[in-house]
Amino acid sequence: MTKLLDFVGKKNHLIVLFALVILFNILLSFFMPKDQALDLKFAYTFGEAYQSIETMDLETRQIYRLGVWTLDFPYMILYSLAFYGLLFKIWGNRGFIKLPFLIALMDLGENLLVIKILNSFPDVNKSMAIFASVFTTSKWILVGVLMLFILGGLFKILHSKALSKEEREEVKA
């Protein structure tokens, strides 16, 4: 993990990783049916899951599946590394900086189940849809926690810079 932190902790590498995250986000928007994509929903029921899929025609389901396979899987790696590096930059090497990998694990479970649901459609599998929802909801809760760590870290940095400025001014006085 030390070599990985050395790599993702470098400013230039973080810039490239976040540029790729943005690029993949844009590309995903072309492949994910915005109103129906299960990846973007929170705490959906099995009925809502299948209702979303039923509103997609065959071509939309195929494009959705292709987007998950070709873009969402690499996207998980990119955002994990980018946010791992960012948390390391903000907080140093603390245990919680591995949170992006837990998010990716939830995303992986979600993606595998969504693909299985799409492949088996029109057959309905209630438990598969419920488990997909659990993974999706867990992912979004963890993303919220990640944002709190990032905002808390940025507040910490700004606060310490403000204190440093006050200390410099006191020394001058």
Read off the pTM: 0.89
Residue 26 has a pLDDT of 94
**What is the identity of the amino acid at 154?**
L
Residue 161 has a pLDDT of 82
Q: What is the distance of C-alpha 121 from the center of its chain? A: 26
- 173 residues of the chain, pLDDT tens digit each: 788 888 888 899 999 999 999 999 999 998 888 888 898 899 999 999 999 999 999 999 999 999 999 999 999 999 999 999 999 999 988 889 999 999 999 999 999 999 999 999 999 999 999 999 999 999 999 999 999 999 999 999 998 888 777 666 665 65
Number of H helices, E strands in the chain: 7, 0
Q: Spell out the residues 6+ positions from residue 23 whose beta carbon is closer than 8 angstroms to its own.
A: none
**What is the identity of the amino acid at 31?**
F
Residue 105 has which token pair?
A: 């694990």
Q: Spell out the residues 6+ positions from residue 41 whose beta carbon is closer than 8 angstroms to its own.
A: 48, 49, 52, 133, 136
